[in-house]
Structure 1
Amino acid sequence: MRNLPRRALPYPARMDGLRFAFGTLTVLPARITRWDRDAARAGMLWAPLAGLVVGLCAAALGGVLLLLGSGPLLAAVATAAVPALMTRGLHLDGLADTADGLGSAKPAEDALRIMKQSDIGPFGVIALLFVLLAQVAALHRLYEESWAYGAVGAALAATVARLALTHASREGIPATRPEGLGAMVAGTVPVRAAVLVTAAVLVACAATGTLFSPYDALRQILATGAGLGAAALLLRRCVRRFGGVTGDVFGALEETAATAVLVTLTLGLGLR
């Protein structure tokens, strides 16, 4: 398989990648059959699909609660809770650990040791608090418009959040540690492949948004760009601060991208 061109993924490799993506990024029963760099590369290319499934599950629960008369606030809380449950809270934990590491102002080695500790420090608590509040507030605003807006927001946020992980796995981005998920996926995704996956997501955004209006299609494209941009800024900071990426950094990127997407989608709602 290593002798194949990077763009040529045979069917078994695609299936290994799907299992890798769903097995590492969700709690869905996907048995990982291969744990190597080739499977990791394919898995990170499939990551947005895993995010889409998580987002649709979140939107479905929010829709059920709205139908039962819960109101948009409770629906928003439930929608924000589903991704946490479907990832065993690992991405939120990564956000908290990364915030503690960045906020420690200590040398990289000490900051990484802080991130590995099981407790959560003040920076982690603050990051979790404001990120979750922002997500719930944004989803509440979207559900106030309609269930469809909230559902699309949940699905788009989860998809772009995992797309940010595809970009964080690009060639040239090193891993901080020689072990763990970060080391397995770091530097595996060719830049061209990441661009193609991003283009596919943008086309899907435009098509979905057009079902509402051309203005909504533009909003979704801008929200995707905002999510990827926010994650890229955090990634750059983490690489400079820690020397590379870790599993915790991946979690922080995912939550940052999702929050940026949701917040951006709420902007300009009244201008339609």
Structure 2
Amino acid sequence: MPDAWRLAVGTLTAVPVAAPRQVDRTTARNALLLAPLAVLPLGIIVAAVLILGRTADLPPLATGFLAVGGLALGSRGLHWDGLSDTVDGLTASYDRERALAVMKTGTSGPAGVLATVVVAGVQAAAFGALTDEVVIAGTLVCLSRCALWIACCTRVPAARPDGLGVGFTATVPVLVAAPAVLLLGVTGGLVVLALVAHAVRRLGGVTGDVMGAAVELALATMLVSAVAVL
């Protein structure tokens, strides 16, 4: 379990930790299951930014963007890169190999940039509306990582045999992945399911980029839903 903690924290946050002594599929699965707890520091960062923004009487949208920025720094922008690459790949070509090649380049095209701006803007606006509900905002950051359980379900294949995400792919049992739909909220869960299904249909499976995209889309959807309810 210590290796799983190190892998989860080291992969999903910028918190410095020792490297895992051994990384196998069991370690990868356990790291994914620990993901919501491993990113607790990110939830705290968001809550702290929202409190500071409210205390300083900053405009809500400005506070929201600062929260998004703090969250990106705390995760080394890993999931944002995944969102950009996924959208670029899926919009570049209907050919599977061409789409995967575009995703692997790591450069951001117009579609990826636009997707990043839109999703970041949605998250920022929602965070700004939750400055009086910082616990909820921080909790949603942590719960959004349950999107990885769906993307890495044993029923979901890998799109290619290499890449950062391949060691995590198809490691989470269905009985664990299924409740993630509820933990993400019905809407958030459906968004992630739709993304994963689309990736399997177009790419033959998921990649690390798709996993990152799932997290950011899940968080945006959950935040909007929370604002609508509150």
- TM-score normalised by the chain length of structure 2: 0.92
- Displacement after TM superposition at 1:153 (Å): 3.8
Long gaps (5+) in structure 1? 1-13, 203-222
Name which of 213, 227, 230 aligns with 1:266: 227
| Equivalent AA in structure 2 for residue 29 of structure 1 | P
Corresponding residue for 1:79?
Answer: 67
Q: Does 1:44 align with 2:32?
A: yes
| Equivalent AA in structure 2 for residue 45 of structure 1 | L
- Displacement after TM superposition at 1:184 (Å): 0.2
> How far, CA to CA, are the matches of 1:190 and 1:168 in structure 2?
11
> How far, CA to CA, are the matches of 2:190 and 2:40 in structure 1?
19
> How far, CA to CA, are the matches of 1:111 and 1:180 in structure 2?
15
Give yes or no for contact 2:50–2:128 (8 Å, CA) kept in 1. Answer: no
Residues 214-261 of structure 1, C-alpha deviation per residue, up to 9 Å, x if partnerless? xxxxxxxxx622222211111110111111111111111011000000
> How far, CA to CA, are the matches of 1:153 and 1:262 in structure 2?
9
Count of aligned residue pairs for this structure pair:
229
Identical pairs, percent: 39
Q: Does 1:174 align with 2:135?
A: no
The worse-fitting range, judged by mean Cα deviation, of 65-74 and 165-174 is: 65-74
- Displacement after TM superposition at 1:24 (Å): 0.8
| Equivalent AA in structure 2 for residue 19 of structure 1 | R
- TM-score normalised by the chain length of structure 1: 0.78
5 Å-filtered alignment, 1:125-140, equals 125-140=113-128
**Cα distance change on mapping 1:85 and 1:123 into 2, 3 Å:** same
Name which of 94, 117, 142 aligns with 2:105: 117
Corresponding residue for 1:10?
Answer: none
- Displacement after TM superposition at 1:168 (Å): 1.3
Q: Does 1:155 align with 2:138?
A: yes
The CA RMSD over aligned residues, in Å, is 1.9
SS at match of 2:129: helix
Give yes or no for contact 1:160–1:227 (8 Å, CA) kept in 2. Answer: no
> How far, CA to CA, are the matches of 1:243 and 1:122 in structure 2?
24
- Displacement after TM superposition at 1:195 (Å): 4.6
Give yes or no for contact 2:150–2:192 (8 Å, CA) kept in 1. Answer: no
SS at match of 1:142: coil
